[in-house]
Amino acid sequence: MEATVLKKKKTTISKGKIKKTIKNVISRPDPVYWPVTSEAESKQIESILNKYHISIPEFKKPTWDVLKNMPKNARPKPPPLKKVDGLIFGLSECRLFSQIKQLSALILEAEINPRAIVQPLIEVCINTQVPVICLPGLKKSSASNFGISTSCLGVKSNFLPDLTETVIHISKNHNLPETNNVKVNNNELANFEMINSADNEKEPEIPNNVPRFSYLYRSDKKRVFVPTNDERATKIKKQFIGQDFIEFSKKLEKENKSYKKMVVKRISNNPNRQKDYNNTK
């Protein structure tokens, strides 16, 4: 008699329909600046990038069965690529050049997801008045022309003037977003005036004809400095004195600050998302 084989229990949790969830997310009120280029503008940029096309040598990486028997020093390496003077590849490099104000133009991948990755860099470029455009298919064009697939392509200052002028011309067609900040003005701070009799007194002017002595010698024991009878000069007794006690000033610092009104948005997931079960183990 043969033993019966138990059937594997199939879990229906992953294959079932995804539950729809709604979350409240705090977001910025102003629209995200995302200047996507049109077809004509994209062709204009790609034609300029094709001018700086470099010859990319073919390199076929051997399989692991061949590499594991070879020492690391003897393993074949891809040949170095020729760099184009004036082009900056990568998000971190473009951010570094924007901070030192050596970035003249910036081209981003229009289909990058999520956009929040490059949003801080866009804000820095807006503050430093660096033109920014979003080019569809930037990764493919940069890989075919320069051998590097990147989502962020920058131009150094005083390099590639034709590319920089084209990006500036295209960026003028996209208006920058207007930021609406709520300014909180403190009237008490604006109208507050420090009245100090000692500070308001004008110091006597020293005429230019009076000679200045580099060395002074004391001739009598008469006290030269006589402190004023100012109440502030007297020491203020602490209310509490103890071990490791730090006394804070009672005066509150009042400053003018600007705030941005945030918006609460309700975001839901995609319940009809198709999951690839072939890749799951």
Neighbours of 36 (CB within 10 A): 14
Instruction: Give how far Cα 94 sits from Cα of 100, 219, 220, Å.
Output: 10, 69, 70
Residue 157 lies inside a defined structural domain of this protein = yes
The pLDDT score that the predictor gives to residue 25 is 84
pLDDT exceeds 50 at position 129: yes
Residue 155 lies inside a defined structural domain of this protein = yes
Per-residue model confidence as pLDDT tens digits over 57-82? 888 888 888 888 888 888 888 888 88
3-state SS of 90-157 is CHHHHHHHHHCCCEEEEEEECCCCCHHHCHHHHHHHHHCCCCEEEECCHHHHHHHHHCCCCCEEEEEC
Residue 162 lies inside a defined structural domain of this protein = yes
pLDDT exceeds 50 at position 148: yes
Which has more pLDDT, 121 or 228? 121
pLDDT exceeds 90 at position 196: no
Global model pTM greater than 0.85: no
Range of the domain at 142: 34-53+83-176
The CA distance from 21 to 10, in Å, is 25
Residue 106 lies inside a defined structural domain of this protein = yes
- Look at the chain and report how many structural domains it folds into: 1
Q: What is the mean pLDDT of residues 238-256?
A: 67
pLDDT exceeds 90 at position 107: yes
Helices and strands in the chain: count of H runs, count of E runs: 8, 8
The pLDDT score that the predictor gives to residue 32 is 78
Q: What is the mean pLDDT of residues 91-119?
A: 90
The pLDDT score that the predictor gives to residue 38 is 92
Q: What is the mean pLDDT of residues 256-278?
A: 74
Residue 150 lies inside a defined structural domain of this protein = yes
CATH number of 168's domain: 3.30.1330.30
pLDDT exceeds 90 at position 205: no
Residue 42 lies inside a defined structural domain of this protein = yes
pLDDT exceeds 50 at position 198: no
